[in-house]
């Protein structure tokens, strides 16, 4: 989808019939858009239900939206009271004003988005915050960070299925990791400036150990035009 000043691409690949991964894009004003990507712990029907409850509530809260940190705090309280018990959820939310290109964002235990600017990839400076809806973690708030985006920036929101993969060249070293995902992201952009997310997914699949258990994979790519 395209909106004059930015373009959006999304990829959602559940590993089973029911996914706990979530993404959404919500227009919250004449010139303001909310982006969200989240991941419920575990798989299957309970995770899928928790995701559906969170999605509905985020859409409701977005109608009275003020700040991303407030949204996470209110959502955390709502999920503790109304969602399936014991199902934690990570989430990153960002709000963009396409006129000023100011992005504000807050995270709840979610991997930091990757920013590609002028050929270099960095992780966004985030304050991780705690997972949503876990009863033993009360009392820690969320932070709101503002940043000035630039034309040509690409911002990748993703779930951990994008980097928690094993591959043969790293035998004994564990997972791919977010830093290597950033390197792959930069490479793929230089080679496939259009159709980016499918190309990135193909690269990840090439690296995977065959027959390993898969995780849900979700990504949202924001490109400023």
CA pair distance 27, 79, nearest whole angstrom: 23
pLDDT digits (tens, 9 = 90+) for 198-215: 999 888 888 776 655 467
Model pTM greater than 0.85?
A: yes
103 neighbors 154 (Cβ within 8 angstroms): no
Is the pLDDT score of 171 beyond 50?
Answer: no
Beta bridge partners of 40: 89
Share of the chain above pLDDT 70, in %: 84
Maximal CA-CA distance, the chain: 51
pLDDT digits (tens, 9 = 90+) for 77-123: 999 888 876 789 999 999 999 999 999 999 999 999 999 999 999 99
């Amino acid at each position: 989808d395209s909106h004059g000043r930015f373009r959006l691409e999304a990829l959602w690949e559940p590993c089973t019939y029911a996914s706990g991964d979530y993404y959404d894009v919500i227009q919250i004003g004449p010139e303001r858009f909310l982006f969200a990507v989240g991941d419920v712990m575990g798989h299957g029907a309970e995770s899928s239900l928790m995701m559906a409850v969170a999605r509905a509530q985020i859409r409701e809260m977005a109608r009275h939206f003020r700040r991303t940190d407030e949204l996470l705090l209110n959502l955390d309280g709502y999920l503790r009271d109304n969602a399936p018990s014991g199902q934690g959820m990570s989430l990153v939310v960002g709000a963009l004003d396409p006129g000023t290109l100011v992005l504000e964002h807050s995270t709840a235990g979610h991997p930091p988005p990757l920013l590609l600017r002028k050929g270099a990839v960095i992780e966004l400076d985030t304050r991780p915050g705690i997972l949503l809806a876990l009863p033993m973690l009360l009392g820690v708030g969320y932070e709101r960070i503002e940043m000035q985006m630039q034309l040509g920036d690409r911002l990748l929101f993703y779930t951990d299925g994008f980097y928690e993969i094993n591959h043969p060249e790293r035998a004994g070293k564990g997972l791919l990791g977010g830093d290597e995902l950033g390197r792959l992201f930069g490479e793929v952009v230089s080679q496939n400036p259009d159709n980016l997310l499918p190309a990135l997914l193909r690269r990840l699949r090439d690296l995977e150990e065959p027959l390993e258990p898969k995780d849900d994979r979700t990504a949202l790519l924001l490109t400023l035009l």
